[in-house]
Structure 1
Amino acid sequence: MSDIIKEIASLPPEPRELIEGLLEKIEKKEAFQLSEVAGRIVKLPPEQRELVKSVLKRAMSAGNGGGGRPSPPPLVALPRKEGVNVLPVSFAQQRLWLLDQIAPGDPAYNQPYGVLLKADIDAATLEKAIGEVVRRHESLRTTFSAVDGQPVQVISPSQTFKLSQRDLRGLAPQEREAEARRLAVEEGRRPFDLKQGPLLRGLLLRVGEQEHILVVTLHHIVFDGLSLIAMVREIGALYVAIRLGQPSPLPELRIQYADFAVWQREWLSGETLETHLAYWRRQLGGELPVLKLPSFKPQPAVQGSAGATYPVRLSPELTKSLRELSWRTDVSLYMTLLAAFNVLLYRYTGQEDVVVGSPIAGHTRAELEGLIGFFVNTLVLRTDLSGEPSFRELLGRVREVCLGAYAHQDVPFERLVEELQPERNKGRTPLFQVLLGLFNPQRQLLQASGLTVEVIDVNIGTSKFDLSLYLYDQPDEVTGFIEYSTDVLDEAAVERLAENFDVLLRAAVA
């Protein structure tokens, strides 16, 4: 693989980004379909096309080989009865349900998104389109109850979707923007009742003759970031079809999220589970360090969800240098950023044993493509910084940590907590207190038949961890933000931390 990485470094941006995306999926053992890249491959020059094809062949081989590990059972649709169906929850849903029992209605796990619609939108048609998405995906008409003290998914056969509306065109432009932001935050913070539902809300703000903002808020227990892509694309396709009087262009779904939840529990048991857990016991055995960030505030006795964000931007020049360093040292951009983040945390805390959470998509099977639900998993990455390693030596350590975690990513974070049984402390999250995520943004998700759809951020002032660094790998630069707990840190401290991270990265590529 190192030979091909060297070749990639000299390629033009389009084939390079295409191959990097494939390599990332291979490395993380994520499923992908040829349809995702076929259209881009045929447009490449012949020699570049052959290189991409060679990576694809390796991907298919990696996906089918399994390294001698037992193959998972097929993911199939379970029979449904007429009316309401009650089925088991996934491991991830179980943890969020438990957290909701402790703090009912806490907005920390609300998932609000702003979707900018550039067109003369017909609200009734949009409402029908979203209603059809709800019909297609059981997860969007699911609530949660307890049977013998354990949570279960309660899937309704149908659910009426009602789209709220506000027209802001009567306000001055500056007031309009401020009011749209206020309404989006208010909607995003409104609590959900997991038992009563619904766990999806929509608010359409008209801010111009050809401009609307659709504020979609869901509870994380039925939704994650990748689901947003599927949902927005389906809404767009259905909106256009309904407006033109055409039938739905979308094929019926073969499986639903509840099928995945049952499959996950059957697959992660017995010898398979024990093989994965053996790795995590070795990696996270002993007393796990608690990262003690310098703070003028005492650690709260009970962890709250109040938070704020601070923007981060790595210049195009720095981003280019980081990518080049990653290619030369046979690591991904994420690994390079994680190594620098570990150094930053070491400089702040003096701790050589550093544990960082890392979100991973969790779509490890092709059958899950396009399905809406809570698939994302969190890996626990523990790095040893002892012995004063050079940055390149540290990159090697981080690479081994990441590859080991990717190979054993099937164990849900919730199951890991249950197995390791860390010391319970209501003032912090178990296993790790800081998180680093790198994502490939897809801001403009649709442009067809006069409809342009673009995602915009909605910040509702919450934080799940003491400190989270969310980065987006843009074509020319890396941008993002730090989300931090205002019970632990203040803005001045986070601003200095962001500046020091930039300085560390520049030193790493110097």
Structure 2
Amino acid sequence: MTSDTALRLGDGATPTESDPTQRLCELFATALELDAVTPDTDFFLAGGHSLSALTLAVAVEEAFGVRVRVRDVFDAATPELLASRLAGLVPGAVEPAGPAPARQRPDTGLPGAEVAEATRWLWLERQRGDGDSGAYTVPCLLDGEGAVDADRLAAALAGLARRHPALRTVFVEAQGEPRAVVTDDVLPLEVVDLRGHDAGDTRFDALVDERLAMPFDPSAGPLTRTTLFLRDDARWSLLLLADHLVCDGRSLEILATQLVAAYADPAAAVAPQDRPAHRSSGQEAALDHWRRVLLPPPAPLPLPVRGLRTEQAGSATGIAVQEIGPDLLRRLTQLGRRHHAGPFVPLAAAVARTLAAITGSSDICLGTPVDRRARLGADDAVGFHVATVPLRLEVRDGTSADDLVQQVAQRTMDAVDHSEVAFDTLVAALAPPRSPGRMPFFDVWVALYPRIDTGPCAPGGIALRGGPIPLRVGMFELSFQFVQHVDGMRLVLQYDTARYAADTAERMVRRLGDEVARLLGDPAEPGPEAAPAHRAFGGFRFDD
């Protein structure tokens, strides 16, 4: 390592400069939520995935002052390899890391504040479609543990509203654009007592469905609803509902975790300590990447729809369900780790293979969400902090499982690294042909939702466990949703009932099960198992 490299040795060197590998071990351990790692610990074999790799990349930027991508962590997945990679980053050859320059926004005299591009795209999408359908609701059902006090729970919710401005935000229209207005509202808690009801569970299911069907009004608010169901003397559940404009999947686990903490100690509901936003690769660099990947644009998949696409996708949906047991999930996770990814990557590969088999197409493009909190400096903030990205894949007969999973892993990493472009900006810049009733670039959505578990119930406190639940309406015509639970994972295929027959959806689900088995059955050399390590804290993290 020479004196003109990004990591310099010599007199007056800082601890980071004099022993970069040791500092990287510390950063790896923090990102993985482990007590310690060794210089040869593989980040992904130890439990990392693309989003935790993004968190690590941002932390390395802060420590070493050079631009670090998720791709760098993907290619150099141990502290010693990443130290060598950073040592080759000569000052001036890369863009220095650091806070993005403040954007000077003129005082327009309009109400509220300008919104982020991703939020603007979502607001415009609901204006173009049926914004009152409930498709833009983010639903979460949690089973409670511990003796719950409704007043304490209501006070904890009020504390979270003070902590997270997104929970008090409404959106008004000014000159055809959305503007965010932060109110002084608190989060209301509805209490429904079903104790002693002869048909408690049936009534409970009906009441949950009733609340799921109630859309939010972005201009009126509040854009969150919380219902405490007292089901019997020892059992209670919490239904969290929010408008997508102020909440995403990761927000649900943040809310659950912080609600439990605020219930135990009201002082825990303080303002989040967010980091400053970091530089990204830049809009033009990101658009150049997407031009290379998406042009010429993929042809619409010849999916087995019945009739013409005349209505907005997802106006009425059904679901087809298949369970993925713990052993199968463990093997999928191991397959992903061999390719520096989490379980999302092999699951997306299985979806791509399923669509290729159904349609006869080798050019498969999927839509998926990417959580951008680490880049935005909003690690523990509730809000809409995701970007929609396309994953374009080449799926040909004879492609091995390892080759396909490796391709999906690389495309996922690149999508995370270039996710700063809002989807409507991407569509406007690349101008793909538009077909009525179809999304540009992709027809099929894929997402993974980890199980929410706030940990053991402390004396006098509460604990929450559960996750997202399906809606009766949706934003896409086909949505493969993988939801982890205590006994494994559940595939929920949400499909547009006007476009797909129920038996067609069931065949897709069965075919996906076959493709998962094929991926796991392809011969491949087993990768090394992760070295056993003690977790300091289990944590909650969305995958990929």
TM-score by length of 1: 0.79
Does structure 1 residue 378 correspond to structure 2 residue 388?
A: yes
Q: Which amino acid aligns with 1:197?
A: G
CA distance in 1, matches of 2:115, 2:421: 15
- Aligned equivalents of 1:292 and 1:383: distance in 2? 16
1:130 aligns with 2:157: yes
- For residue 228 of structure 2, what is the amino acid of its counterpart? L
* Matched AA of 1:21: G
For the Cα contact (< 8 Å) 1:140–1:222, is it kept in 2?
yes
Q: 1:63 to 1:441 in 2, by over 3 A?
A: farther
Distance 1:76 1:251 in 2: 25
> How far apart are 1:375 and its partner, in Å?
0.7
SS of corresponding position for 2:196: coil
1:300 equivalenced with 2:310 (yes/no): yes
Is there any run of 5+ residues in structure 2 with no aligned partner, and where?
A: 1-33, 61-76, 522-544
Structure 1 position 366, deviation (Å)? 7.7
For the pair 1:467 / 2:493, whether they are aligned, the reply is: no
- Seen in structure 2, the aligned counterparts of structure 1 residues 506 and 426 have a Cα distance that, compared at 3 Å, is same
How do residues 254-403 of structure 1 correspond to structure 2 at under 5 angstroms? 254=273, 272-328=282-338, 332-365=342-375, 367-386=377-396, 388-403=398-413
CA–CA separation in structure 2 for the residues paired with 1:108 and 1:200: 14
Task: State the secondary structure of the residue aligned to 2:228.
Answer: strand
For the residue of structure 2 that corresponds to 1:178, the secondary structure is: helix
Superimposed CA distance per residue, residues 439-476 of structure 1 (whole angstroms, 9 cap, x where no aligned partner): 43233456223422222543331222121212246688
Amino acid in the other structure paired with 2:252? L
Q: CA offsets, 1:277-336, max 9 Å, x none? A: 001011111233212221334433433421122222234443444444445566654333
Q: Select the structure that is richer in helix.
A: 1
Q: Deviations over 1:197-222 (max 9, x none)?
A: 11111222211123222222110000
Give, in whole Å, the separation in 1 of the partners of 2:403 and 2:316: 38
Question: In the alignment, which residue of structure 1 is the partner of 2:68?
Answer: none
* Higher deviation after alignment, 415-424 or 284-293: 415-424
Select which of 103, 109, 119 maps to 1:93.
119
Given the superposition, is the C-alpha separation of residues 320 and 145 from structure 1 closer, same or farther in structure 2, using an over 3 Å criterion? Answer: closer
- Corresponding residue number in structure 2 for 1:404: 414
Aligned-residue Cα RMSD (Å) equals: 3.6
Question: 1:479 maps to what in 2?
Answer: 490
Instruction: Determine the structure 2 residue equivalent to 1:48.
Output: none
CA distance in 1, matches of 2:167, 2:357: 44
The 3-state SS of whatever aligns with 1:221 is: coil
CA–CA separation in structure 2 for the residues paired with 1:236 and 1:110: 23
Pair 426,324 (structure 1): closer, same or farther in 2 beyond 3 Å? same
Q: Percent identity?
A: 25
1:224-275 deviation digits (Å, cap 9, x = unpaired): 1111111112221222225xxxxx134423459xxx9xx69xx67xx82111
Q: 2:452 aligns with which of 433, 439, 442?
A: 442
Contact 2:50–2:416 (CA under 8 A) maintained in structure 1: no
Q: Residues 328 and 117 from structure 1, CA distance in 2 versus in 1: closer, same or farther, beyond 3 angstroms?
A: closer
1:452 to 451, 463, 468: 463
- Give 1:148's aligned amino acid: Q
Matched residues in 1 for 2:517 and 2:100: separation? 47
Which of 340-349 and 416-425 deviates more? Answer: 416-425
- Residue 73, structure 1, aligned to residue 83, structure 2: no
Residue 145 (1) aligns with residue 155 (2): no
CA contact under 8 A between 1:357 and 1:378: conserved in structure 2? Answer: yes
One-letter amino acid of the counterpart of residue 468, structure 1: S
Q: Secondary structure at the match of 1:372?
A: coil
* Per-residue Cα deviation, 1:156-194 (whole angstroms, up to 9, x for no partner): 2x113332222111212xx21111111112112212111
Contact 1:338–1:436 (Cα < 8 Å) also in 2: yes
Q: Which amino acid aligns with 1:413?
A: F
Q: Which moved more, 1:178-187 or 1:15-24?
A: 15-24
Q: What is the CA–CA distance in structure 1 between the aligned matches of 2:85 and 2:329, rounded to whole Å?
A: 29
1:38-60 deviations in Å (ceiling 9; x for gaps): xxxxxxxxxxxxxxxx9467679
Higher mean C-alpha displacement, 438-447 vs 182-191: 438-447
Cα deviation code 1:128-150 (max 9, x no counterpart): 11111111111111111122221
CA distance in 2, matches of 1:430, 1:396: 25
Change (3 A) 1:449 1:186: same
Matched, 1:233 2:257: yes
2:133 to 106, 125, 128: 106
Note the residue ranges of structure 1 that are not aligned, 5 or more in a row.
1-12, 35-53, 243-247
Mean Cα displacement is larger for which, 406-415 or 61-70?
Answer: 61-70
Indicate whether 1:219 and 2:238 are aligned. Answer: no
Corresponding residue for residue 171 of structure 1: 197
Q: Measure the CA separation in 2 of the matches of 1:72 and 1:230.
A: 26
Q: Cα gap change, 1:251/1:507 in structure 2, threshold over 3 Å: closer, same or farther?
A: same
